Chains A and B, each alone.
Chain A
Amino acid sequence: NAGVTQTPKFQVLKTGQSMTLQCAQDMNHEYMSWYRQDPGMGLRLIHYSVGAGITDQGEVPNGYNVSRSTTEDFPLRLLSAAPSQTSVYFCASSLVGVGSPLHFGNGTRLTVT
């Protein structure tokens, strides 16, 4: 009964480094998404996917890349980390369809120095 699993929980990067935030769900959800949460700004959608092989951009996609090769996994790649990407990142999944509640992982806290 794992739900949505995010790894790592914490990460510190230097400016310019790249890394991949992992997200996996075991609920057979077609819809998966990445949000970033910053103080005073709520959650902002980075990228989302409605199924394997299908991804699209959200509100703040610049500097991030995603792919969806399986239903279960939706990794988020930071191509060249910048201090502005210091944030808490959440992965969420749901059934496809308006009104389906999102299931969230516990987040990855990323600091870019």
Chain B
Amino acid sequence: SQQGEEDPQALSIQEGENATMNCSYKTSINNLQWYRQNSGRGLVHLILIRSNEREKHSGRLRVTLDTSKKSSSLLITASRAADTASYFCATDAYSGGYQKVTFGIGTKLQVIP
């Protein structure tokens, strides 16, 4: 079963608006990562937040992590048409001696120019 579940599964906004995507997970984690996938391409790493961090920023991205609620959010501010993509959260933890990275099903973001 999937460790992470994104919400909403699809989101459509106007250019310039902010986009917020949420991720919930089930078990304890070491880190939580967010990835972007443009149509027909592989995933690209955006940002990582460690389990002992609560908030992290990178450019127009803001990620929060609440380990007590087992949830994270990704905020994209001042969205652009080029932000149109699917966004995935991924949790990683050691499992059986190796780094196990588990992905959610993703949020499909459409930014309308």
Interface residues of A (CB under 8 A from B): 4, 31, 33, 35, 40-45, 48, 50, 56, 90, 92, 94, 96-107
Contacts and interface: CB of A to CB of B under 8 A. Distances in A.
Contacts of B31: 98-99
Contacts, number: 64
B48 interface: yes
Main secondary structure of the interface of B (DSSP, over half): strand
28 contacts: A42-B88, A43-B43, A43-B88, A43-B103, A44-B103, A45-B101, A45-B102, A56-B96, A56-B98, A90-B43, A98-B30, A98-B31, A98-B93, A98-B94, A99-B30, A99-B48, A99-B50, A101-B45, A101-B48, A102-B35, A102-B43, A102-B90, A103-B45, A104-B42, A106-B41, A106-B42, A107-B40, A107-B42
Contacts of A40: 105
A96 B33 contact: no
Nearest to A109: B40
Interface of B: 2, 4, 30-31, 33, 35, 40-45, 48, 50, 88, 90, 92-94, 96, 98-106
A96 B2 contact: no
Most buried by B among A90, A92, A99: A99
Nearest to A96: B99
The 9 closest A-B pairs by CB, nearest first: A104-B42, A101-B45, A42-B105, A43-B103, A99-B31, A98-B30, A104-B43, A42-B103, A106-B42
Nearest to A49: B98
A43 B33 CA distance: 14
Contact of A99 (B35, B92, B96): B92
